[in-house]
């Protein structure tokens, strides 16, 4: 391996270590949202339903009535080494819905794995609760080793009427340690939000997010417009860092494809793709 190649790897690893805790990369284990629908709507997720609620607010998949599976790809700043690859499966059971999910972020010199086992249940027609147990692993290349931990996330959704849904969700409220020596901890994330359907074709959503590793409270907002019950146009905003997003979705029988682009205020666009299939 050449000196230039080693230098580039070292510089990239240094970049990851310096900025990962500053919430610049939003790696798989840091409580960021998953799925191109959420990305296209300003990363709003807490009051939405669907497959990717398994990572965003587990209460949102409690009404799933068919086996559903999907894959996702989130390329941060169009860099493969900073991408997150996602896999999710939901299976309805007699008393609720179970699911598994896997997120993998990074590349050989630095990567994060998050594997989750989730369960959600609807209590009547208007209240849903979901819980997920997460296994987290952070790996550094060149024989630096791995750090592992177990945490949980929990969420709730309530329909106030046929148009308004409220949602609340938290990730890792116990702030598990990543490193005993340095006292480094995985951040906690809290989200509270609402989704309001103005008409059968127009959905809007708004939420606030607070992270333990980032001082400001961030406001997210988004909208989704449906065309002929098959095509979806989306747009969103955020008050910090990821300031604008847009997206498109298409539903074909049992298959749904979603695409999005998220604009960071200083680092540029991040393309996001997710594909789901309903058996």
Per-residue pLDDT reduced to its tens digit, 53-66: 999 999 999 999 99
pTM for this entry? 0.83
Query: Cα–Cα distance between 191 and 26 in angstroms, integer?
Result: 15
* pLDDT at residue 33 is higher than 60: yes
Q: Give pLDDT, residue 149.
A: 87
- Rounded to the nearest angstrom, the gap between the alpha carbon of residue 34 and the centroid of all alpha carbons in its chain is 3
Average pLDDT for 42-48: 95
Q: Where are the alpha helices (DSSP H) in the chain?
A: 3-19, 36-40, 53-56
> What are 226's two structure tokens?
């449906």
How many folded domains does the chain comprise? 1
Residue 62's domain comprises 3-278
Using pLDDT thresholds of 50, 70 and 90, give the confidence band for residue 183.
low
Using pLDDT thresholds of 50, 70 and 90, give the confidence band for residue 179.
low
Using pLDDT thresholds of 50, 70 and 90, give the confidence band for residue 9.
very low
Quick check: 51 and 35 in contact, CB under 8 A?
yes
| 91-143 pLDDT, tens digit each | 999 999 999 999 999 887 888 999 999 999 999 889 999 999 999 988 887 66
CATH of the domain at 130: 2.40.160.60
* pLDDT at residue 171 is higher than 80: yes
């Amino acid at each position: 391996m050449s000196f230039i190649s080693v230098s580039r790897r070292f510089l990239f690893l240094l970049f990851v270590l310096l900025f990962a805790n500053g919430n610049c990369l939003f790696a798989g284990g840091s409580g960021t949202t998953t799925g191109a629908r959420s990305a296209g709507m300003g990363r709003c997720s807490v009051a939405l339903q669907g497959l990717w609620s398994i990572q965003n607010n587990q209460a949102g998949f409690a009404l799933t009535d068919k086996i559903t599976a999907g894959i996702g790809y989130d390329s941060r700043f169009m860099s493969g080494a900073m991408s997150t690859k996602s896999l999710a499966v939901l299976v309805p059971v007699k008393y609720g819905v179970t699911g598994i999910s896997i997120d993998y972020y990074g590349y050989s010199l630095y990567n994060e794995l998050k594997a989750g086992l989730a369960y959600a249940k609807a209590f009547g027609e208007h209240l849903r609760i979901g819980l997920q147990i997460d296994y987290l692993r952070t790996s550094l290349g060149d024989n630096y080793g791995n750090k592992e931990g177990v945490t949980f996330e929990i969420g709730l959704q309530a329909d106030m009427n046929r148009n308004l849904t409220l949602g609340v969700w938290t990730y890792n409220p116990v702030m598990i340690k990543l490193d005993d020596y340095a006292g480094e901890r995985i951040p906690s994330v809290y989200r509270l939000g609402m989704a309001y359907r103005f008409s059968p074709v127009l959905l809007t959503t708004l939420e606030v997010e607070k992270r333990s590793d980032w001082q400001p409270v961030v406001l997210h907002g988004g909208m989704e417009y449906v065309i002929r019950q098959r095509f979806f146009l989306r747009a969103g905003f955020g008050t910090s860092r990821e300031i604008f997003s847009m997206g498109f979705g298409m539903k074909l029988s049992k298959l749904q494809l979603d695409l999005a682009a998220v604009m960071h205020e200083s680092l540029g666009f991040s393309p996001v793709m997710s594909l789901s299939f309903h058996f």
